[in-house]
Amino acid sequence: MPKLAASAGHNAKVTGAHGYITEHIENRKVLDGVSKYIKQLGWTFVDCTDDTSATKDGIVLGAIAKHNKHPDAESDIQLHFNASAGTHSRAIGVECIISTKARAKDRERAERIADKLAKNIGLPRRKTIVSDYYGFPRRTVYGIIVEICFVNSKADA
């Protein structure tokens, strides 16, 4: 049975992006929904969220440690909400971030996630960012960071 290891990016101590909505509150709602639907598909779901660390680096390392306990996971996904400078009334959109060393199937998976998410919530589809800067789980190069929307865009929120 396939396994998905996922984490909700930020916690109550390191709250993430703020705007019309707050990242650490909304990412839990999305993680709960992902868990529900992944299980309905017959997959095993593992929550790797770090709810105890009090620094940004701490929550990244805490989530990595939890992800590392599941080397058999088909994919590692971190759920985040984005922000840009100022506030906006226009929709900004959905994007995914993947490692420069991501496998072809994970690049394809990131593209499908962003395409379907943008279509289903009615937001623009931004390009997939390819970078190693964003704190991917160290045991893997197939982590996908999903930036669900921009919290400082009224249309996105």
Query: What confidence score (pLDDT) does residue 15 get?
Result: 95
Measure the CA–CA gap between 157 and 47, rounded to whole angstroms: 24
Cβ 29 vs Cβ 70: under 8 Å: no
Q: Which is it for the CA torsion 55, 65, 30, 156, positive or negative?
A: positive
Left, alpha or beta for 84 (phi > 0: left; psi -120 to 50: alpha)?
A: beta
Query: What confidence score (pLDDT) does residue 135 get?
Result: 59
Query: What confidence score (pLDDT) does residue 26 get?
Result: 97
Query: What confidence score (pLDDT) does residue 101 get?
Result: 79
Measure the CA–CA gap between 138 and 68, rounded to whole angstroms: 8
Query: What confidence score (pLDDT) does residue 133 get?
Result: 67
Query: What confidence score (pLDDT) does residue 103 get?
Result: 80
Q: Across the chain, how many H-helices and E-strands are there? A: 3, 6
Measure the CA–CA gap between 35 and 57, rounded to whole angstroms: 25
Residues of the chain with pLDDT under 70: 133-142
